[in-house]
Amino acid sequence: MFDVIQSRLANLGISIPQIAMPVGSYVTTIRSGKQLFISGQLPLVSGKLLTTGKVGATVDIENAKKAAQICAINILAQAQAELGNLAKIKQVIKITAFVAADPTFTDIPQIANGASDLLVNVLGEAGKHTRSAVGVSVLPMDATVEIETVMEI
């Protein structure tokens, strides 16, 4: 199982980064029974946001979707740091994708799919999850996407 995930990551050209530090006075992960809660992940790459601004205004679909992918990679980084390896994820239970969006931009699902597809592509069946996706007015540091996660481990 571990090897399968590593090989998928390699095929996708993804390396799991260092975890992103919290941008406030909270912690990154908390276990509750068999559930792992992960703080809202931003599209941070080496501590810098991949995109800022609102999709439908200053950010286009392609870049917003990439931002969601980075959020998902950061979710995996948090899980790996907490669990030791990604094979210990039994199931991604739920993600809530908050997308900073102009009120006229309605294709929120396409942006969130950037994260959802990545989780399934890396974790297989264990990556399938329930989801809410909503357009919000603004995110921390003007990030374009933030994703909250609950997993079963």
Please give the Cα distance from 34 to 139 (Å, whole number).
Answer: 29
Q: Which stretch binds a second copy (CB under 8 A): 7-15, 59-67, 69-77, 140-148?
A: 140-148
Q: Cβ closer to a second copy: 3 or 119?
A: 119
Is 101 an interacting residue with respect to a second copy (CB under 8 A)? Answer: yes
Q: Find the Cα–Cα–Cα–Cα dihedral 51, 133, 75, 13, rounded to 10°.
A: -60
Site string for a second copy, 12-51 (x = CB under 8 A): ----------xxxxxxxxx-xxxx-xxxx-----------
Bridge-based pairing state of the strands 91-100 and 145-152: antiparallel
Distance CA 88, CA 145 (A): 26
Show Cβ contacts of residue 81 under 8 Å, excluding neighbours closer than 6 positions: 19, 28, 29
- In the set 72, 73, 86, 108, which binds a second copy (CB under 8 A)? 108
Which residue's structure tokens are 């276990």? 31
Residue 63 or 116 with smaller CB distance to a second copy: 116
Name the nearest CA neighbour of 86 among 26, 32, 15, 146. Answer: 15
Q: Is 79 in the site for a second copy (CB under 8 A)?
A: no
Among 14, 61, 87, 136, the residue binding a second copy under the rule CB under 8 A is: 136
Please say which residue, 43 or 135, places its beta carbon nearer to a second copy: 135
For residue 113, give both structure tokens: 């799919």
Q: How far is the CB of 95 from a second copy (least distance, A)?
A: 8
Site of interaction with a second copy (CB under 8 A): 22-30, 32-35, 37-40, 54, 91, 93-96, 98, 100-110, 112-113, 116-117, 120, 128-142, 146, 148, 150, 152
